[in-house]
Structure 1
Amino acid sequence: MVWSSFDGRFSDSPRALYERLRAERDDLHHVWLVRDELRHTFPTDVTLVTSRTPEAARALESADLVFASSHIEVEWEKKPGATYVQTWHGTPLKTVHWDVLWAPEGKLEQLDRDVQRWDLLLAPNPHATHFLSQAFRWEGELLESGYPRNDVLAAPRHDARRAEVREALGIDPGTTVVLYAPTWRDAEGYDTSLDVPVRLELEQFGEALGEDHVLLLRAHNMVAGRWHVDSHEWLRDVSLTPPDVADLYCAADVMVTDYSSTMFDWAVTGRPLLYLASDLEQYGSVTRGFYLDLWPEAPGPVLRSTEELLAALGDLPAVEQEYAARYAAFRERFTPHEDGHATERVLRHLGLIG
């Protein structure tokens, strides 16, 4: 079995599925594709092969089962009888694949070669089922299972995971943890020569809230490692480690995002959700495009500046009260299967556990 998450991380739904299989069965051989700079984030007993290499292609071509959370960007030929499960990695608010407003010439055709290898596509909710099928022109098997990666958010082990992650990050008890997890801008992701700004004024945050808050910065996988931030007691750049964003969902008390699908996963926690969306119109009409006009019914305030964000963070009980009805409707629509048992549903569907 070969596992791939975001081209070389130990994370996401593939990790949740893998860990459950390792706990239940000892008769399977597992190989993970890895980015070399992230080898230290994998367990020491895992067989690793560098992604996007001839060795990765050979591992994939010998596999009976392949799991991935995104496209595998290496050319390989799936052997007869093998099964490729595409877990994907988020409920789509922004457009995906053939629906995007722009992509580099030939990029979608390249990625589509991977889509043609898929045998099963996972989706977390009816909205995702519809738009992922549309975006990928998918007519194969689809399982609306919920996301295995989110099981930890609903399971009894959430509290223990929360304590472990906060301790590992050196966060004192009683500190309010703010997770900032925005999406990427396509031009920045495809052109690595461009600077990637943090679209939140960090010094303003520190001056206003640094005494009793910690800010966790989680860049999108496409631009991770390209933020350049100064070191502060109240700041942690967690873009590369821990490898799994679910750890940060457990650790945080409030999330700030923009157009990232992290909003849908975060909603499982029921904790406050704020939007810092200074380029909303540009992103929706030029940069990428949206599948729905979420903003009039957003489950949290849509803010245009760091000043507005700091004001909202300063009175979270008022935010929660004002947006309670919207938040409940959002969860009902987008998290109907996030009950802590998605991993089990997927593995049973594949006949891998009894």
Structure 2
Amino acid sequence: MKQFIKELTIQIYKVLTYLVPVVKRIIIFQSSNGRNYTGNPRYIYEEMVRQGLDQEYHCIWFFFDTDIEVPGKCKKIRNNYFLYFWYLMRAGVWVFDSRQPLYFRKKKKVDYIQTWHGTPLKKLALDMNKMDMGGNTDIKDYHEKFRKTCADWDYLISQNAFSTEIFKSCFAFTDRPILQIGYPRNDILIRDNNKEEINKYKKLLGLPLDKKIILYAPTWRDNEYLGEGKYKFASKLDFDLAREQLSDDYIFIVKYHYLVSDKIDWRPYKGFVYTFDETKDIAWLYLVSDMLITDYSSVMFDYSLLKRPMFFFAYDLEDYRENLRGFYFDFAKEAPGPISKDTKQLIEDIKEYDTSLWTEKNEAYRQKFNHIDDGHASEKIVELIQKNGR
């Protein structure tokens, strides 16, 4: 019955949307398709709050869970209900970080700012020549859906010149503005990277102050899934060995990718492993951690701003590169930290890490991927919203 009502509502929305006038001062924000309050849209909105513009604009957040706390003056609307479609018909600005559903009808007077959600290592969208994503292997259908959604984007945010060139091809985005301004979500990494703020975040997250913190943030595997859009927590990391070797000095934060919905019993690792799901903004976790372990996730491009050690637990490197996605650059050559294939080697890399051995690679990496991030990206998008609304 719920599915029938949703489908009926979508059809009504498609018919009525062009009859309802656009109001420029209504802005819709959405992160991870409504799953959380994070990322680029969050920090653009919070910059509006900082400037007091949430009092002048009618700010709308789309969520599946409207109990999520959001500062400032905004209205939280549940995804796929009546008011959701009502504001879709009326809003003059959309600020999203993921591609929108195909049923959206974007009108000419709407400014759609697509912030996206990361610099790509792995092949994206129209650049992919094969796929096995949640059981879907129809690459032609996948490409066609991407073409349709990307055609509605008016602006696209890029973190660096490297991404700008890729976005032109993978999103067929050659005739509209790519805003190469850095990522709004990284403004906090520049602004709050000091001991006082870091300790504040540790306390808010319930983390100990007397241990070093390792952030483990792997990506998802296209072919390891529970159902459509729901992926497993794919990892070969031996947490028993890690606890045995590292627990005297370290704790782990495990951060799931927002598409991961696996339920894992972490109780045996209480006091050593702290977990955070897709609802927690990863920028806080970057700030509180002393080092990062990842694999092929775009977290590597944001975290490098902090100039802290990075380790790459790439146990399936060849398979991932050759059979799942493929990479845009030589990951093994350019990675600004040790690459390990098993937990024993990873632990050795952590214990023996020598910052001086990685200085040159880290600097080259930041020059390539962080040459734009300056702590003011959010302000630039807010300025664009104001300019277009005049």
Q: TM-score, normalised by structure 2?
A: 0.84
Among 192, 197, 203, the alignment partner of 1:167 is: 203
Match of 1:97 in 2: 125
Q: Identity across aligned pairs (percent)?
A: 28
Match of 1:276 in 2: 313
**In the alignment, residue 61 of structure 2 is paired with which amino acid?**
W
**In the alignment, residue 3 of structure 1 is paired with which amino acid?**
F
CA contact (8 A) 1:5 1:12 kept: yes
Q: Does 1:28 align with 2:54?
A: no
Distance (whole Å) between structure 2 residues aligned to residue 81 and residue 252 of structure 1? 43
Distance (whole Å) between structure 1 residues aligned to residue 87 and residue 102 of structure 2? 11
- 1:314-325 matches, within 5 Å, as 314-316=351-353, 318=354, 320-325=355-360
Match of 1:235 in 2: 273
Inter-CA distance 28–165: structure 2 relative to 1 (3 Å threshold): same
Q: Does 1:77 align with 2:115?
A: no
Q: Does 1:122 align with 2:157?
A: yes
Q: Does 1:3 align with 2:64?
A: no
Distance (whole Å) between structure 2 residues aligned to residue 209 and residue 241 of structure 1? 28
CA contact (8 A) 2:233 2:256 kept: no
- 1:144-293 matches, within 5 Å, as 144-156=180-192, 159-189=195-225, 191=227, 195-223=232-260, 225-231=261-267, 232-242=270-280, 244-293=281-330
Q: CA offset at residue 288 of structure 1?
A: 0.9
Q: What SS is found at the alignment partner of 2:68?
A: helix
**In the alignment, residue 173 of structure 2 is paired with which amino acid?**
W
Q: CA offset at residue 203 of structure 1?
A: 1.3
**In the alignment, residue 252 of structure 1 is paired with which amino acid?**
S
Q: C-alpha deviations, 1:165-202, integer Å up to 9, x for none?
A: 21123222231100011111112357358743333111
Q: What SS is found at the alignment partner of 1:271?
A: coil
**In the alignment, residue 311 of structure 2 is paired with which amino acid?**
L
CA contact (8 A) 1:198 1:227 kept: no
Q: C-alpha deviations, 1:268-318, integer Å up to 9, x for none?
A: 0000011000100111111111111121122101111111111122233x2
Q: Does 1:59 align with 2:94?
A: no
Distance (whole Å) between structure 2 residues aligned to residue 237 and residue 277 of structure 1? 21
Q: C-alpha deviations, 1:26-82, integer Å up to 9, x for none?
A: 21011111122x733544954222234554333222111000111122512123311
Q: CA offset at residue 160 of structure 1?
A: 4.1
Q: CA offset at residue 208 of structure 1?
A: 1.3
Gaps of 5+ in 2: 1-26
**In the alignment, residue 337 of structure 1 is paired with which amino acid?**
I
CA contact (8 A) 1:86 1:122 kept: yes
Distance (whole Å) between structure 1 residues aligned to residue 80 and residue 102 of structure 2? 5
Q: What SS is found at the alignment partner of 2:43?
A: helix
**In the alignment, residue 186 of structure 2 is paired with which amino acid?**
N
Distance (whole Å) between structure 1 residues aligned to residue 211 and residue 145 of structure 2? 46
Distance (whole Å) between structure 2 residues aligned to residue 70 and residue 197 of structure 1? 22
RMSD: 2.2
Match of 2:378 in 1: 343
Inter-CA distance 159–32: structure 2 relative to 1 (3 Å threshold): farther
Max Rg structure: 2
- 1:126-145 matches, within 5 Å, as 126-139=161-174, 140-145=176-181
Inter-CA distance 195–93: structure 2 relative to 1 (3 Å threshold): closer
Q: TM-score, normalised by structure 1?
A: 0.92
Moved more, 225-234 or 22-31: 225-234
CA contact (8 A) 1:57 1:74 kept: no
- 1:12-27 matches, within 5 Å, as 12-24=39-51, 25=53, 26-27=55-56
Distance (whole Å) between structure 2 residues aligned to residue 107 and residue 35 of structure 1? 25
Moved more, 89-98 or 106-115: 106-115
Distance (whole Å) between structure 1 residues aligned to residue 338 and residue 198 of structure 2? 25
Inter-CA distance 44–214: structure 2 relative to 1 (3 Å threshold): farther
CA contact (8 A) 2:38 2:279 kept: no
Alignment coverage as a number of residue pairs: 349
CA contact (8 A) 1:273 1:300 kept: yes
Q: What SS is found at the alignment partner of 2:203?
A: helix
**In the alignment, residue 166 of structure 1 is paired with which amino acid?**
K
CA contact (8 A) 1:84 1:118 kept: yes
Inter-CA distance 41–257: structure 2 relative to 1 (3 Å threshold): farther
**In the alignment, residue 179 of structure 1 is paired with which amino acid?**
L
CA contact (8 A) 2:336 2:358 kept: yes
